[in-house]
Amino acid sequence: MEDILLNIALEITAVNPYKWLLKYLYDWQALIAALIGAGIGATTPVLVFYIKERTDKNKRRKEHLLFLEKNIVSAINNLSDIDNTLYSFVNSKLKFLIQDVEKIISEQKEGRSLNQYAAHQAFIPFSSIFLLDNSLLKETSDSAYIENLTLTVIRISMDMPEIMRDIHRQFDRTLSFNQEISILKLNSPIEQNKIFLDNLKRFELFINSEIFQHNIPLFLRRLVSLRIALAAMNEWGFKKWRKIFNYPLTEPVDTRMQKVEDFFKDDINSMIKGMLEDKMFNSRLLLIGEEPPERPTY
């Protein structure tokens, strides 16, 4: 019996000596293919979901950056309107009011208009304010620099209505206080007129220093810095942005922020200079690296 089986094996081998090896490999190949097919079938939905999620996120980021940039442009234009409105007021109504009071005081020193109180009326033109609010934080740019700048400009923007109200209150208080003293005749006309003139000049100094040399220039510089950064990320894409600004997270946030600002310094300064040339602003605008002058005593 053993001789018969041996003869059969020899005959098969003689016909195809690799038949058994090929069959063995074929069986294993089929098994491996089945396992790979099952694995691909299981992972395909996950892979498709991941790709779709990344695509949707990139699309949302792109839309968010464009929406944010449009808001920043609107805020810059609105700040220009506020600047021009206040500048026109200071150099027309307020200037003429000061000159008129000075004229009355000059006449009184010459012995004329001795009983005249300078009880004038005037008002600051209303300026609408474009607010940047927390709705801009619903999506993220995935950039610490842009997120921090966005938070800063939102905070300053939300302070603007109170700053404008304070300007109106101070001017109205200056006029109403002078009127009350004049009506009650608590001071002599020339003495009260001098007090009134001093208060008007202090108010003018406050506007020129606080608003035109500090508030508007500093706010504008942050708005322009953010606009430049948003335009760059929109043009480059997030991958290139992250590659360029791949600073160690161990560095302080302020250090990383300063490095990014230094990178865009020339672009920021160029845009601010362009606004000056186009006479969009009358304020003393500040370039990167410049500091506002010291505040005077009001």
In this prediction, residues 235-256 reach a mean pLDDT of 90
In this prediction, residues 230-239 reach a mean pLDDT of 92
How far is it, in rounded angstroms, from Cα 75 to Cα 69?
10
How far is it, in rounded angstroms, from Cα 209 to Cα 298?
10
| Least confident residue range of 16-20, 71-75, 183-187, 245-249 | 16-20
pLDDT digits (tens, 9 = 90+) for 112-143: 988 999 988 888 998 889 999 888 888 888 89
% of the chain with per-residue pLDDT over 90? 61
pTM of the entire structure?
Answer: 0.80
pLDDT at 7 over 80: no
How far is it, in rounded angstroms, from Cα 128 to Cα 77?
11
How far is it, in rounded angstroms, from Cα 190 to Cα 85?
32
How would residue 296 be classed by pLDDT, with cut points 50, 70 and 90?
confident
Look at residue 8 in the predicted model and tell me its pLDDT.
43
Q: How far is CA 176 from CA 141, 168, 182, in A?
A: 49, 12, 10
pLDDT at 5 over 50: no
Look at residue 13 in the predicted model and tell me its pLDDT.
47
DSSP class per residue in 40-72:
HHHHHHHHHHHHHHHHHHHHHHHHHHHHHHHHH
pLDDT digits (tens, 9 = 90+) for 62-80: 888 899 999 999 999 999 9
Look at residue 30 in the predicted model and tell me its pLDDT.
57
% of the chain with per-residue pLDDT over 70? 81
| Least confident residue range of 151-155, 224-228, 253-257 | 253-257
Cβ count within 10 A of residue 65: 20
Cα Rg of the chain (Å, integer): 37
pLDDT at 109 over 50: yes
Spacing of C-alpha 94 from chain mean position: 32
Helices (H), the chain: 2-15, 19-89, 95-109, 144-184, 189-206, 216-236, 238-244, 253-263, 265-277
Highest mean pLDDT among 58-62, 228-232, 245-249: 228-232
Spacing of C-alpha 205 from chain mean position: 28
Helix 19-89, helix 2-15: angle, nearest 10: 50
| Least confident residue range of 44-48, 141-145, 177-181, 288-292 | 44-48
